[in-house]
Chain A
Amino acid sequence: MFAFIVRRIGQAVLVMLVISLVGFSIKNRIGDPVRDVVGERVTPAERAALRQKLGLNDPFLVQYVRFVENALKGDLGLSFFYKKPALKVIISKAPATLELVFVTALILIVVSLPIGVFTAIRPRNWFSRFTMAFSTLGVSIPVFLTAILLIYVFAVTLNWLPSYGRGLTVDIGGWQSGLLTLDGLKHLILPSISLASIMLPLFIRLIRAEMMEILETEYIKFAWAKGLRRSRIWFLHAFKNTLLPVITVFGVQIGIMFAFTILTETVFQWQGMGFMFLEAVERSDTSLLVAYLVVVGVIFVVVNTLVDIIYGLVNPTVRVAGRK
Chain B
Amino acid sequence: MKATWQRFKSSYLLYSFRRDKVAMASFAVLVLLILTGLAAPLVSPYNPYDPSSIDIMNSELPPAWQDAGSRAFLLGTDVQGRDMVSTMIYGLRLSILIGCGAVTLQALIGIFIGLIAGYIGGKVDALLMRLADIQLSFPYLMVAIFISAIFQVAFGIGRYAELAVPLLIVIIGLSEWPVYARTIRASVIGEKNKEYVEAARVIGLNRRLIMVRHILPNTITSVLVISTIQVANAVMSEAALSFLGLGMPVTKPSLGSLIRSGFEYIFSGSWWITIFPGILLVIFVLVINLLGDWLRDVLNPKLYKGA
Residues of A within 8 A of B (CB): 14-15, 18, 26, 29-31, 136-137, 139-145, 148-149, 151-152, 156, 163, 216, 255-256, 258-260, 262-263, 266-267, 277-278, 281-282, 284, 286, 289, 293, 296-297, 300-301, 304
Interface residues in B259-307 by Cβ distance below 8 A to A read 259, 263, 266-267, 269, 271, 274-275, 278, 281-282, 285-286, 289-290, 293, 306
Contact present for A30 and B153 (CB under 8 Å): yes
Partner of B286, one of A137, A256, A297: A137
Interface centre among A137, A144, A216, A296, by most chain B C-beta atoms within 10 angstroms, is: A144
Sorting the interface of chain B by its residue count into under 10, 10 to 19, 20 to 34 or 35 or more gives 35 or more
Q: Closest A-chain residue to B237, C-beta based?
A: A142
Give complex CA distance A36, B138 in Å.
29
Selecting from B69-77, B110-118, B242-250, the interface stretch reads B242-250
Q: In the complex, what residues of A have CB within 8 A of residue B128's CB?
A: none
Contact present for B278 and A148 (CB under 8 Å): yes
**Residue B220 at the A interface, CB < 8 A?**
no
Q: Closest B-chain residue to A266, C-beta based?
A: B244
Residue interface bits B137-175, CB-to-A below 8 A is 1, else 0: 111011001100110111001000000000000000000
Give complex CA distance A260, B240 in Å.
9
**Residue B184 at the A interface, CB < 8 A?**
no
**Residue B132 at the A interface, CB < 8 A?**
no
**Residue B42 at the A interface, CB < 8 A?**
no
Q: Kindly provide the distance from the CB of B119 to the nearest chain A CB, expressed in whole angstroms.
A: 25
Chain A facing B: main interface SS: helix
Interface centre among A139, A140, A293, A301, by most chain B C-beta atoms within 10 angstroms, is: A140
Give complex CA distance A262, B141 in Å.
10
Give complex CA distance A297, B263 in Å.
31
Contact present for B263 and A156 (CB under 8 Å): no
Give complex CA distance A255, B274 in Å.
29
Q: Closest A-chain residue to B239, C-beta based?
A: A142
Q: Kindly provide the distance from the CB of A28 to the nearest chain B CB, expressed in whole angstroms.
A: 12
**Residue B134 at the A interface, CB < 8 A?**
yes
12 A-B residue pairs with Cβ-Cβ distance under 8 Å, sorted by A, are A15-B134, A15-B137, A136-B293, A140-B285, A144-B240, A156-B269, A256-B141, A259-B138, A262-B244, A263-B240, A263-B244, A289-B153
